[in-house]
Amino acid sequence: MGTAQSREDHITDSDDYESEEEEEQKSEDEDQYDDAEDNYKPPQTASSNPNSKTLESSVDDVDARLKALKLKYGSSSSSSSASAAQGQNAVKLYLHVGGNTPKAKWIVSEKTAYSFIKTSNVDGDGDYDDDGRMDREGEWVLKVGSKVRARVSTDLQLKMFGDQRRVDFVSKGVWALKFYTDEQYRRFVTEFQDYLFENVYGVKATEENKVKVYGKEFLGWVKPEAADDSAWDYEDSEKSPKSATPVRPSHDLMEEFEEAANGGVQSLTLGALDNSYLVNENGVQFYRNFNHGIHGKGVCAKFDTGGSSLGKSTPKKALLMRAETNMLLMSPFKEGKPQANGLQQLDIETGKIVTEWKFQKDGTDITMRDITNDTKGSQLDPSESTFLGLDDNRLCQWDMRDRAGMVQNIANANSPVLHWTQGHQFSRGTNFQCFATTGDGSIVVGGLEGKIRLYSKTSMRQAKTAFPGLGSPITHIDVTYDGKWVLGTTDTYLVLICTLFTDKDGTTKTGFSGRAGNKIPAPRLLKLTPLDSHLAGTDNTFQRGHFSWVTENGKQERHLVATVGKFSVVWDFQQVKNSAHDCYRNQQGLKSCYCYKILLKDESIVESRFMHDNYGTNSPEAPLVVATPMKVSSISLSGKR
């Protein structure tokens, strides 16, 4: 458990860092040169003291140490380094070693130069075609000396340090580039962002092409530095100050307890009332809600999918309804595909599947890839009989009652069919992936191309506002209860969008209720540092970003949480919204926030979610529940320990 700030060092321009070759030689000769090692004190890192800068040694000390280790300076490498340093693309390349241990440090890998190369041979060494001409097709690649060759993409997790003329990134390790001048640094960042745009959209990053991609209404996304950020600092004057209490630095993630989860956990479903649930390959496990987390009740509602016509795989989606007395379970019809052709209805009180429902429209079986409640709090409504469905090109509402408005007679219905009450089947091009609802029933939908569409509660046919994509598919989406903020999840970052704007009459609205035009501010990105991204492991994609959970007008969500491999990552919502936050200094392009807390588990996390605000009365926040395939943990956010 820790924060992003505790994992980064301050790289200076001094040459007191070991070279990569020195590090390898030191490891080999460690036993022979103990005396030399005893006389050397490694630099203090930020991981041991977040507020300290790395201690510096003199060049003479480094020379003496190199001689003690019997290392020779290579004349050819020195000559090439000096030559590279004279070029406009000259850089120092550093490699981070030691992970997150006390011995972690940066070592000089090369004094070299970087270049951007456009090639179809992204992973290879050759950049020329069979005729010996430079390959001008393919994609842009970043090449740094002999050590780094990587496609220009968000996978690099590039982080900028303008005050240090430095960028960090991930490519089979964690690297840093230090530039000799401010002009070199700014040129590199501009080139990287332009080539990233070209790799994503297939066109050069001209002003004209950017307007074509993002639209005239979203010029703030083209030039974030010129955008009006005042909406980010908007606070409703009627809101209680207690509802947006910032988290102090002393607040930490404290694990209350952990329980075995009987294995194979597929999803976590939290209730706002008495119970929460884990769905695994055996059935639905029941847990009791408390102010400090959830406890297993030793009850499991088992389901047999062997005779089901709706697929034989374990349900991947569970939805509570009717004052949390019923649960809808959706299983993929084909393994490896998200779509389902129906769902099962579980009676919580009896623990039994009471019926199976099929998705049909005009007498024809159809599929759904996702379902959700009509509103963010409608699962608490005992009379709720409708819910929303989403497929690649469908957005609709389903009703479990018949056309006359009466609940279907389950006992007499051979194959009950859900009634398509309203919605729209789009002809092509929507590529819907995920959706969520606000407190009043407005709908936000994330798409494969990265677009985020806002639909009012009165129409599913045409979006009131459609945000352009940033090039990465939206894999999960959430929205605040009041609809003012949207959180989209991509593989490499979270995108946070403010939907507020002021119309021509001076009234503040959200993009769900009116067409915002060019009045919507630029989004902000929530990212991991390159080091944390690397430490998260091979399965280091962002999954299921959520706001903390409120279902009452006037209350404000306080945190955001997402899972990345074995990490559960928590951001302070008010800090992210603060335009004066330190993270945003010296950045070019869209603002990115790297201030977060991390909870580390010993296996990949299935899902992390905050409990309902009802259970946060004695703490800065309701408990965080973290589910892995084998365990479930309850985490408190407290500064009292």
Residue 241 has pLDDT above 60, yes or no: no
- The string over 155-173, giving b where at least 16 C-beta atoms fall within 10 Å of a residue's C-beta and e elsewhere, is bbbbbbbeebbbbbbbbee
Return the pLDDT at 329.
Answer: 92
Q: Write out the residue range of the structural domain in which residue 179 sits.
A: 87-121+137-205
> What is the tally of helices (H) and strands (E) in the chain?
9, 41
d(CA 249, CA 264): 36
- Residue 8: pLDDT band (50, 70, 90) is low
Q: Is residue 171 in a domain?
A: yes
What is the percent of the chain where pLDDT is above 90?
A: 42
Q: Is residue 324 in a domain?
A: no
Q: Is residue 226 in a domain?
A: no
Lateral strand order in the sheet of 352-358: 317-321, 326-330, 342-347, 352-358
d(CA 623, CA 287): 14
Residue in the structure block whose two tokens are 């479990």:
400
d(CA 201, CA 471): 7
The residue ranking higher by pLDDT, 321 or 11, is 321
Tokens at residue 204, please?
A: 């050069």
Instruction: Tell me what the mean pLDDT of segment 202-222 comes to.
Output: 86
Question: Considering Cα of 135, then 136, then 138, then 144, what sign does the dihedral take?
Answer: positive
When the pLDDT of each residue in the chain is averaged and rounded to a whole number, the result is 78
Residue 237 has pLDDT above 50, yes or no: no
Q: Is residue 311 in a domain?
A: no
Q: Is residue 167 in a domain?
A: yes
CATH of the domain at 107: 2.30.29.30
Q: Is 424 exposed, middle or buried (0-12, 13-18, 19+ CB in 10 A)?
A: middle
For the chain, the domain total comes to 1
What are residue 568's DSSP bridge partners? 563, 599
Tokens at residue 109, please?
A: 């890998």
Q: Is residue 185 in a domain?
A: yes
- Say if residues 174 and 540 touch (Cβ distance below 8 Å): no
| Secondary structure class of 572 (helix, strand, coil) | strand
Residue in the structure block whose two tokens are 């000390």:
61
What is the percent of the chain where pLDDT is above 70?
A: 73
- Say if residues 244 and 233 touch (Cβ distance below 8 Å): no
Nearest to 324 by CA among 270, 386, 390: 270
Alpha helices in 483-614 (DSSP H): 530-535, 573-577
Q: Is residue 179 in a domain?
A: yes
* Model pLDDT for residues 416-457, shown as the tens digit of each residue: 666 776 776 776 778 899 999 999 999 999 999 999 999 988
Q: Is residue 141 in a domain?
A: yes
Tokens at residue 566, please?
A: 């074995």
* DSSP of 437-491: E-TTS-EEEEETTS-EEEE-TT-SSS-SEEEPP-SS---EEEE-TTSSEEEEE-S
Return the amino acid letter for 126: G
Nearest to 309 by CA among 359, 247, 364: 359
Nearest to 451 by CA among 428, 429, 422, 427: 429
d(CA 253, CA 248): 12
Lowest mean pLDDT among 139-143, 243-247, 281-285, 503-507: 243-247
The residue ranking higher by pLDDT, 471 or 187, is 187
* Model pLDDT for residues 390-403, shown as the tens digit of each residue: 998 889 889 887 65
- Residue 360: pLDDT band (50, 70, 90) is confident
* Model pLDDT for residues 38-88, shown as the tens digit of each residue: 332 333 333 333 333 333 333 344 344 544 544 444 445 445 544 544 478
| Secondary structure class of 196 (helix, strand, coil) | helix
